[in-house]
């Protein structure tokens, strides 16, 4: 395991940091992460355009699609620096992190040319249409049907939790094309124009106040066969490419961490009024446990980075990082809000302690424990693929989808 940047990596990090310092100075740009709706989107799109002009977009992609063909480690380094500046990258995370890499891997040359440039420049936004009301963890059990009709496929069904669908131009859609086959084998992936007739997007109101994800209904939506990604019936393998990218992308923490809770503890009076929370024995024990967990994650991340730096593919152990981070964030935010006492209920960043960082984290952490694989699903992955324990019971193995309960 290597803890240090190579000289080339260190030079790239310094160059990236200097560019971010210069580019993300205006408070509005950084605040775009907190701004919902068209204003935040406009700011994010403008930032993405600047990133392309400076050569920091599509770092690992081939030059022929507008990338720089750098090793994945450079993309990790840029992402680490970008996170420190609260760069407004949210609306593009799914498109550029998951959908477009899938398009590049499976679409035809002319379609790749059509889609990649506008997505990279932030002109068009993409979403991921996989989960359904009864198919989240078990996404291969999805019901949305695609039936061939001449040169088109006709889509009927419903997706849910589709992040960004309300402002997306395109999406990648996983649908069932053959219910006679086993559930994983009868699926096909398509590119869907979100403005096509019959696509009905309904935002879901969230507890934190925003509406970032949606229900999406399909009523006789037509997709040309030329927009199919991969072979008919090979959708599961196409989806695995998307999901592999998703787990890597979701693994990092994007909220307040050990340093922030330490600062809060230093500036918060202990219960009973003697000194700060730093002198409180119970809180000190919590601090120690968060420190160990955060350090464990950081060291694990070095292992992933070393693999990337050597051109290897990181293994399923990145699931460990996601479980650790999401649970620590929830625990830490909960304790911080309690420590803030009556200020803990203020969610307005202008007046809440530490710009309401813990209040935001408190609302976001439960979602982080679900998105990109729930805690339980990731624990199954760790048990089976990291620890080599026996497989979870799979009663649907070898059974045609139509013969499963609810499969008709």
Ligand X SMILES: Cc1cc2nc3c(=O)[nH]c(=O)nc-3n(C[C@H](O)[C@H](O)[C@H](O)COP(=O)(O)OP(=O)(O)OC[C@H]3O[C@@H](n4cnc5c(N)ncnc54)[C@H](O)[C@@H]3O)c2cc1C
HEC-encoded secondary structure of 149-168: ECCEEEEEEEEEEEECHHHC
Q: Which of 246, 263, 295, 340 is catalytic?
A: 246
Among 117, 136, 179, 252, binds ligand X (CB under 6 A): 136
Report the residue number, 71 or 371, with the smaller CB distance to ligand X. Answer: 371
Report the residue number, 129 or 264, with the smaller CB distance to ligand X. Answer: 129
Alpha carbons 94 and 90: distance in angstroms, whole number: 8
Query: Phi and psi (nearest 5°) for 313?
Result: -95, 130
Q: Among this protein's residues, is 285 annotated catalytic? A: no
Q: Are 145 and 116 in contact (CB under 8 A)?
A: no
- For residue 186 the two structure tokens come to 């009868």
Tokens 């620890």 belong to residue = 387
Considering CB under 6 A, how many residues would be counted as binding ligand X? 20
Interface mask toward ligand X for 95-134; x: CB under 6 A: --------------------------------xxxxx---
Among 6, 25, 108, 137, binds ligand X (CB under 6 A): 137
Report the residue number, 270 or 370, with the smaller CB distance to ligand X. Answer: 370
- For residue 153 the two structure tokens come to 């496929």
Alpha carbons 184 and 207: distance in angstroms, whole number: 34
**Nearest-approach distance from CB 248 to ligand X, in angstroms:** 15
- Contacts with 97 (C-beta within 8 Å, 6 or more apart), sequence order: 245, 246, 249
Query: Is 377 a residue that touches ligand X (CB under 6 A)?
Result: yes
Residues of span 202-241 touching ligand X by CB under 6 A: 213
Residue whose CB is nearest to ligand X in the complex, by number: 136
Query: Is 245 a residue that touches ligand X (CB under 6 A)?
Result: no
Question: How many H-runs (helices) and E-runs (strands) does the chain carry?
Answer: 13, 8
Report the residue number, 242 or 309, with the smaller CB distance to ligand X. Answer: 242
CA 8 to chain centre: 28
Residues of span 68-97 touching ligand X by CB under 6 A: 94
Report the residue number, 71 or 363, with the smaller CB distance to ligand X. Answer: 363
Q: If you ran DSSP here, which 8-state letter would residue 60 be given?
A: T
Q: Please list the active-site residues.
A: 246
Positions in the binding site for ligand X (CB under 6 A): 94, 127-131, 136-137, 161-163, 213, 367, 370-371, 374, 376-377, 380, 392
């Amino acid at each position: 395991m290597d803890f240090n940047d190579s000289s080339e990596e260190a030079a790239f990090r310094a160059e990236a940091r200097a560019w971010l310092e210069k580019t993300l100075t205006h408070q509005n740009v950084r605040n775009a992460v907190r701004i919902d709706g068209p204003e935040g989107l406009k700011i994010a799109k403008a930032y993405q355009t600047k990133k392309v002009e400076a050569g920091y977009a599509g770092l690992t992609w081939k030059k022929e699609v507008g990338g720089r063909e750098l090793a994945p480690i450079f993309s990790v380094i840029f992402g680490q620096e970008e996170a420190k500046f609260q760069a407004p990258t949210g609306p593009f995370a799914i498109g550029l992190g998951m959908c477009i890499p899938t398009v590049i891997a499976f679409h035809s040359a002319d379609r790749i040319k059509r889609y990649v440039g506008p997505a990279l420049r932030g002109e068009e936004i993409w979403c991921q249409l996989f989960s359904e009301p009864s198919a989240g963890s078990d996404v291969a059990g999805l019901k949305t049907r695609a039936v061939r009709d001449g040169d088109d496929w006709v889509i009927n069904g419903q997706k849910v939790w589709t992040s960004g669908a309300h402002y997306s131009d395109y999406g990648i859609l996983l649908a069932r094309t053959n219910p006679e086959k086993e559930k994983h084998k009868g699926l096909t992936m398509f590119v869907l124009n979100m403005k096509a007739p019959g696509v009905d997007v309904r935002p879901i109101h969230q507890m934190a106040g925003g509406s970032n994800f949606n229900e999406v209904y399909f009523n006789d939506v037509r997709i040309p066969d030329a927009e199919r990604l991969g072979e008919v019936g090979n959708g599961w393998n196409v989806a695995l490419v998307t999901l592999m990218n998703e787990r890597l992308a979701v693994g990092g923490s994007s909220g307040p961490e050990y340093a922030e809770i330490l600062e809060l503890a230093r500036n918060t009076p202990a219960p009973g009024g003697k000194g700060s929370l730093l002198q409180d024995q119970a809180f000190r024990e919590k601090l120690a446990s968060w420190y160990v967990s955060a350090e464990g994650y950081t060291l694990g991340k070095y292992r992933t980075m070393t693999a990337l730096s050597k051109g290897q593919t990181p293994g399923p152990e990145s699931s460990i990082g996601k479980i650790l981070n999401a649970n620590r964030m929830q625990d830490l935010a909960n304790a911080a809000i309690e420590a803030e006492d009556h200020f803990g209920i203020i969610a307005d960043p202008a007046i809440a302690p530490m710009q309401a960082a813990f209040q935001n984290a408190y609302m976001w952490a439960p979602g982080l424990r679900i998105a990109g694989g729930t805690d339980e699903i990731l624990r199954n992955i760790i048990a089976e693929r990291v620890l080599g324990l026996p497989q979870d019971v799979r009663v649907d193995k070898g059974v045609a989808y139509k013969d499963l309960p609810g499969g008709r």
